[in-house]
């Protein structure tokens, strides 16, 4: 969506601050959890399923984003995205 430079700067700065805060919280949470007694490691097949699900989810989200972005571009009257 077309936005003015000031508004876009505020939105981008807010998104960056939220992302930074999530990162700091994540590091704190990992350090806290590592200080506790751990359970046995997950089996190798569970990690394989997690990786496959992540890759499939990534591909599906890229395709979904492309269609969504084209819908928004049609509404705004700007050219559609190409794959390159």
**pLDDT, tens digit, 9 for 90 and up, residues 54-65:** 999 999 999 999
Whether this prediction's pTM lies above 0.85 is answered by no
61 and 77 inside one domain: yes
Q: Are residues 56 and 82 in the same domain?
A: yes
Domain count, the chain: 2
For residues 29 and 48, membership in a common domain is answered with no
- What tokens does 34 get? 């590592």
Enclosing domain of residue 3: 1-38
- Asked whether residue 50 falls in the same domain as residue 17, the answer is no
Q: Are 70 and 81 in contact (CB under 8 A)?
A: yes
Kindly state whether residues 54 and 82 are assigned to the same domain.
yes
Buried b vs exposed e over 10-38: b needs ≥16 C-beta within 10 Å? Answer: eeeeeeeeeeeeeeeeeeeeeeeeeeeee
Q: Give yes or no for residue 22 having a pLDDT over 70.
A: yes
Residues 28 and 66 in one domain: no
């Amino acid at each position: 969506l077309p936005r003015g430079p000031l508004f876009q700067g505020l939105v981008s700065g807010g998104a960056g601050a939220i992302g930074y805060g999530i990162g700091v919280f994540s590091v704190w949470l990992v350090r806290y959890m590592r200080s506790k007694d751990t359970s046995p490691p997950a089996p190798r097949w569970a990690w394989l399923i997690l990786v496959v699900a992540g890759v499939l989810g990534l591909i599906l989200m890229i395709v979904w984003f492309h269609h969504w972005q084209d819908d928004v571009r049609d509404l705004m009257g700007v050219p559609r995205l190409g794959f390159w």
